[in-house]
Every structure is written in C-alpha cells, then in structure tokens.
Amino acid sequence: MKYLKLYIPALFLLLNADNLMAQAAASAAPEKASNASLPEIMTLVLVVMVGLVLVVALWSLVRVNNAMYNNIQKLYAEARGESITDTVEDWSSREDGFWTKFRKKYWEDAVPIEKETEILMDHGYDGIKELDNSLPPWWINMFYLTIIWAVGYMFYYHWSSNNWSSEEEYKQEMLKAKKEIALALAGRAESIDESNVTRLTETAAINDGELIFKTSCAACHGQKGEGLVGPNFTDPNWLHGGGIKNIFKTIKNGVPDKGMISWAAQLKPSDMQKVASYIMTLEGTNPPNPKAPQGEVWKDEATPDSTTVAPAKTGK
C-alpha cells in the first residue's frame, strides 16, 4: 500500500492515453479542403510527441507523489519520536542511476541555491547582483526540438514532392471556389423564367441551342428554321410575339391548340433559354423553301426607334 498513491494517477493516465492521442490527431486535421487531411507522417509525429509529453507528465507526477509521501513519513516519525532513517528510505546515500543523471544533465542541471555565490558576478545595480547562470536545459532542449521540427516541416511542405506547399493549398482553394461558383451559377440558371430571361450571345450557348433545336424542334420547324408544320423562324413575322421573353414563354407553355406541346417537363430553363437565343439568330438567314410569313412583324422594344406590334393569338 506504500506506493498506492503513485499507481492511481499513473493508471489513470495510461488508461486515457489512447483517447488523448486520438483526440490530438483528430484535431490536427485541417478543415479547408473537402478531401484534404494531415499527412500520415505528420500525424505519427504528433502522436509520438503527445506520448512523450504524457510520459514526462507521468514521471513528474510520480516524483511529486514520492516526495510528498516521504515528507508525510518524516512528519509521522518525528511525531512518534522515531528515527527518520528507520522509517524513510535514505535516498541521499544511493548513487544516481542512468535516468537520474540524464535528467540532471539535460533537464534540471541548474546551480543549487547554496552554490550561487560561485557564479555571482562582480558588478551590481541598486544592491542587486547578477548571476552568471546558464539557461535551463529543458528550455534549450525545447529550442533544439523546434529547430528539428522546422527542418522537417520545410522539407516535407516545401522541398519534397508531396505538393503540400502553401502554393498548392492556394490552388486547391481556388479550384474549390470555382466549383462553388459553378454550382451557384447552375442554381441561378435553373431559376430562369419568362420574366427574367435574357438573350444569350456566347458561341457555346448558341451551339447548344442549335443542337437542342435540331433534336427537338426541327421536325415541325425544319432543320434551318424554314418552317414545316410549324411557322417559319427566318422572317420577322411572329404570331405569339418575338423577343427572347415571348419565345421562351412559347417554348415553355407550348401552343396546345396548334399541336405544339409544352417543353417545360423535358427541357431545363437554361436549355429553353439557349433554344430561344438560337432561334433569334435565324432571322434573315434565307433558307431554301421557306414557309410563307405568318403573324405580324415584331420589332424588339429594346430598339429606341421601333414600336412593338401586338402579337396575334395564333402561330409562333
């Protein structure tokens, strides 16, 4: 039972060491990139360092508990009038072991108070004299450890081929931002309707609209928009109104009494916008065998010197 107080805290630390190291490793993982994690080698080093800290903490706790236990034993011995050496093991007569020598040299090698006169310097200020003492070994060793860590960090993140430099991190962040912007724009594209649709002029969008037109619309309107069962798109006449908004609305809702179906269930709003924009490019192309004009001439209301002709009730 003599060393029970030493074993209880040691047992507690040992039982929780794995949890503490696991939490330390988990907290080291960065959260910036969606698919990024701390490199395994750095995680291993972190876990080893945490383990060393736990070992040092355990060793220090054992020493403190041992010293407290000896002091209590001395107090009991003095109270009973017994010899202290009969009750408490005399540690002063024992030769220092390897770890004790190592600790004193690399961790606690400080000049004792009773020997400070040996390192006292001659000069003084306001009655205060300076000691020519060295920095504590534990502080110096920690400083050396930071240098070693810095060299390993520089090698892994800047000189090796692991691509974990700050430049690579910047590239990953920019790539992630571009994906988020693309998703945001895609969401905006699917919120298009006849009230906010605008004409597209980009070549890629027009080409996409042409492909959709020839796949879904050419059967009634001709491969070049010359008109078959449906109206001709190459003249300036419109039955349901020209302009991007009217064309988009006609594609979306269809013209059931003329046999044109609604394409809202088959085409996305962004696709209907592309088709409408492509159709607007067909005016004035003069394809062979065009169908006769139908409806009224439409002048875009965006043109300052033009007047908008009200659309008729049937046709395009």
Predicted confidence (pLDDT) per residue in 18-65, tens digit: 454 455 445 544 444 334 455 566 677 777 877 787 887 787 777 777
Q: Are residues 151 and 207 in the same domain?
A: no
Q: Are residues 153 and 12 in the same domain?
A: yes
Torsion of CA 18, 23, 24, 27, to 10 degrees: 160
Task: Report pLDDT for 110.
Answer: 66
- Residue 37 located in a structural domain: yes
Both tokens of residue 133?
């003492």
Task: Report pLDDT for 244.
Answer: 92
Which domain does 109 fall in, by range? 4-121+130-159
Domains contained in the chain, number:
2
- Residue 228 located in a structural domain: yes
Hunting for tokens 């800290």 — which residue is that? 53
Q: Are residues 17 and 72 in the same domain?
A: yes
- Residue 61 located in a structural domain: yes
Q: Is 82 helix (H, G, I), strand (E, B) or coil?
A: coil
pTM (whole model) above 0.85: no
Render pLDDT for 276-293 as a digit per residue (tens, 0 to 9): 999 999 998 989 989 998
Q: What are phi and psi of 259, to 5 degrees?
A: 90, 5
CA proximity to 77, closest of 90, 65, 64: 90
The single-letter DSSP state of residue 159 is: I
Q: Are residues 20 and 109 in the same domain?
A: yes
Task: Report pLDDT for 119.
Answer: 81
Average of per-residue pLDDT across 65-79: 76
Render pLDDT for 128-169 as a digit per residue (tens, 0 to 9): 888 887 777 778 888 888 999 899 888 877 777 766 677 778
Q: Are residues 215 and 108 in the same domain?
A: no
